A and B are shown apart, each in its own frame.
Chain A
Amino acid sequence: MLASILASGLAVGAIYALIGITYNTMFATSRVMSFTAGQLGMLGGVFGSLFILQFQLPVLPGLALTLLAAAAIGVVTEFVAVRPVLKSLDQHLYVLSTLALALMIQQVTAIEWSTEPRPFPRLLELTTAHGPWDQKYWLPVVACAVTILGLEYLYKRTLVGRAFVAVAEDNFAARALGLPERNLRVASYALAGAIGALAGFSGGQLLLAFFANGPLLNFYGFIPVALGGLGNNRGAVIGGLALGLFQQAANFTVGGIFSSVAVFTLFIIILLAAPQGLFGAAPQRRV
């Protein structure tokens, strides 16, 4: 029982955390929270199933194509729903434009792919591990660890990464320094697309290739961001894993309907108590 809670809790927690990181990556360079984050996760599963099961590609090229396709969707998001409303960031039009785009992505998937969940391939030919050690539980955790390490390396050790950080910290100053702020933003949306898709791909065996995963991941992926504080990736990982464990524990103990009520209630209480998140920064000046 405990092993099952831990395995599935950490697995879905890692998926939520990756979606949280997707939110953060987009937010860092644009100050925009995008409703497309969850849809990217959903697309990870759908593209994975499409490339590997339908087109019969091997796993690695399938993964590469999935990440590439989702990165392209990320770039489209930047062009269609983010760039045009950046001028008037204080009007929060991005909430509407990204919501619209997210719904369009979801609806097209529903119509062109299927409204029923479709299978996602087993990625590794392992037959020995069962139960809590099944690949579907540890793959998302590995993906999450790889992502967070990769991002740390990117931000700390590479020039591009440092430019990202500079833009994230002070947009105007970064532009004044001559950093290609616009290109960095597009790149961050591509990166976010890939991270979101990785979440859906690594968790594909749990979530299946299902169009309705989008809003689900959107909400549960947002909670780690709200808990961990905007833009704080480590906070998102901690928040995501905590959420996953809490949710699965509630699933095991009180069952379906009440676990979602419990998660929502906890979410609201924490948000009201700490609007900046548990590891968030203080609000900015207003006047």
Chain B
Amino acid sequence: MRITRRDLSRATLAGLAAAPLARPALAQTEAVRIGWLAAMTGPSSAPAIGFNRGVLFAANALNADGGVKGRKIEIITRDTQGDPTKAVNATQEMISQAKVHAIWGPTNSGESLAVTAIMARAKMPNIHPCVVDQLIDTRRYPNAFRTAPSNGQWDDAVRAYCLNVLKVRKVAVIGDTTGYGVSAVKASVAAFQKDGAEVVYQANIDATQPDMTPDMLRARNAGTEAIIIWSVSTGMEARLFNTRGNMGWDVPFVGHPSMASGEIGGLLSRPANWEKVFAIGYKSCSYGADGNLPAKSQELVSRLQGKVALDDTLLWWVAAGVDAVNLIAGAVEATGSSSNEAIIRHWNSLTKHAGYFGTYSFTPDEHNGYPTEEVVMSAANTAKHGAFALAPGYG
């Protein structure tokens, strides 16, 4: 059940007058309200659009089965456009006005950084898929849980692939000039150096820069054996791939999942430019050597069949959206309560809880719930129904 903003504001007007009266104990039949902070429009809206399909699918499925303990699931969406200011407003609105029981999102790190403290103040159960490591801190934010890998985990997977599978020692680390790009490059460089690899070149490139030759030339001159990319800008990535093609260089690109984004296909001057590009992927959403998805994922795909389009999005986004709703609903189901404490306590007790996107484990001291071993590299140009083939070397 998706509540549109208009309904919400109408309810607001009515509710404002009767606010003190309207609270009493309908708790058992009252819907479970899930706030969904989605960057549905604006730049970098693609993930939220994918998540949203999963969210709506899961909510509808639960409600069709009679809800949770007789309570309907209500999704309250607000478009933040990726703007932290709008996200702060929307979060407070969900907490104070819509009085949601838990919040899923936001989906971009910049927004998430701005709203995490606000949710913590209200002890609002929150799960999000944002990668910035600092977002999870069980002491300061005991209410915040991550159901996707952190950037550190991404970093680990990329590094492991470069050092152990590709067996390279000299890498170049390149990001865009956004907040994410700058910090990710810095963290990645430090981690490579700690593991004894040599970072021969590092740069943050303005994503709108028309020509990537300068950086690529410098990287090549420095003796780079693999280029690590931290950016969500598909335009920039495509230019890098094209430049590599034009230079006749066969260095592999390894890094951010957006390198596998479908838009890149159209931006390439030759399809071959997309070879030897390895983007972060997930075991649950990758085709193995036999060309099949893992069984549980296959089950989800068949359930989604005909209801949710997968070709123009990524399977993991949809799966993570489904899992988010199920995690919240599961907590209410298990504890019989939608109170903040009950939901958080339940999540803290999860061990190897099998979702579609991953197997989550939380403890009161560890809210990074996604297992690092499920983060893998995939071949960027192998998209099929929103999933990818594993990169070579996973045999």
Contact = CB atoms under 8 A, between A and B. Distances in A.
Instruction: Report if A and B touch in the complex (beta carbons < 8 A).
Output: yes
Interface of A: 1, 4-5, 8, 11-12, 53, 110-111, 115-119, 122, 130-131, 134, 203, 205-208, 210, 212-213, 216, 248, 251-252, 255-257, 259-260
A6 to B, nearest CB: 11
A212 B43 CA distance: 10
Given A117-B267, A118-B267, A134-B246, A213 B41 contact: no
A256 B177 contact: yes
A116 B238 CA distance: 12
Contacts of A208: 235, 238, 267
B227 to A, nearest CB: 15
A12 B210 contact: yes
Given A12-B210, A117-B263, A255-B214, 19 more contacts: A1-B217, A8-B213, A11-B210, A53-B266, A115-B41, A115-B42, A115-B44, A116-B263, A117-B234, A117-B235, A117-B267, A119-B266, A119-B267, A131-B246, A205-B269, A206-B211, A256-B204, A256-B206, A257-B206
A256 B178 CA distance: 11
A251 B209 contact: yes
B267 A255 contact: no
B309 interface: no
B45 interface: yes
B217 A213 contact: no
A259 B177 CA distance: 12
Nearest to B181: A256
Contact of A203 (B206, B210, B267): B210
Contacts of A213: 208
Nearest to B46: A116
A12 B208 contact: no
Contacts of A206: 210-211
B215 interface: yes
Residue with the highest number of chain A CB atoms closer than 10 Å, among B203, B211, B266: B211
B206 A115 contact: no
A130 B246 contact: yes
A4 B217 CA distance: 9
A205 B235 CA distance: 11
B205 interface: yes
B266 A256 contact: no
B45 A115 contact: yes
A118 B266 contact: yes
A116 B235 contact: yes
A213 B215 CA distance: 21
Interface string B225-238: 00000000111001
Contacts, number: 84
Contacts of A131: 246-247
A54 to B, nearest CB: 10
A216 B268 CA distance: 23
B263 to A, nearest CB: 5
Residue with the highest number of chain A CB atoms closer than 10 Å, among B213, B218, B234, B246: B213
A45 to B, nearest CB: 11
Contact of A115 (B43, B177, B211, B214): B43
Interface size bracket, B side:
20 to 34
A105 to B, nearest CB: 17
A4 B213 contact: yes
A116 B43 contact: yes
Contacts of A257: 177, 204, 206
Interface string B380-391: 000000000000
Nearest to B263: A116
A8 B211 contact: yes
10 nearest A-B residue pairs (beta carbon)? A117-B235, A206-B210, A8-B211, A119-B266, A252-B214, A256-B206, A119-B267, A256-B205, A115-B43, A4-B213
Interface in B25-82: 41-46
B210 A207 contact: yes
Contact of B234 (A116, A255, A260): A116
B210 A212 contact: no
Contacts of A1: 217
A12 to B, nearest CB: 6
Nearest to B175: A256
A248 B217 CA distance: 13
Contacts of A119: 238, 266-268
18 contacts: A8-B211, A11-B210, A11-B211, A110-B42, A116-B263, A117-B234, A117-B238, A117-B263, A131-B246, A131-B247, A208-B267, A212-B43, A251-B209, A251-B214, A252-B218, A255-B204, A256-B204, A257-B204
Contacts of B43: 115-116, 212
A245 to B, nearest CB: 12
Nearest to A111: B41
A212 B235 CA distance: 11
Nearest to A119: B266
A117 B246 CA distance: 20
B205 A255 contact: yes
Nearest to A137: B211
A276 B238 CA distance: 40
A4 B263 CA distance: 27
Contacts of A207: 208, 210
Residue with the highest number of chain A CB atoms closer than 10 Å, among B208, B238, B263: B208
Contacts of A130: 246
Contacts of B268: 119
Nearest to A247: B209
Nearest to B234: A116
Nearest to B211: A8
Contacts of B233: 117
A35 B208 CA distance: 19
B350 to A, nearest CB: 36
Residue with the highest number of chain B CB atoms closer than 10 Å, among A1, A5, A213, A256: A256
A191 to B, nearest CB: 25
A49 to B, nearest CB: 9
A212 B208 contact: yes
Contacts of A116: 43, 46, 234-235, 263
B26 to A, nearest CB: 40
A119 B267 CA distance: 4
Nearest to B269: A122
Nearest to B218: A252
Contacts of B209: 251, 256
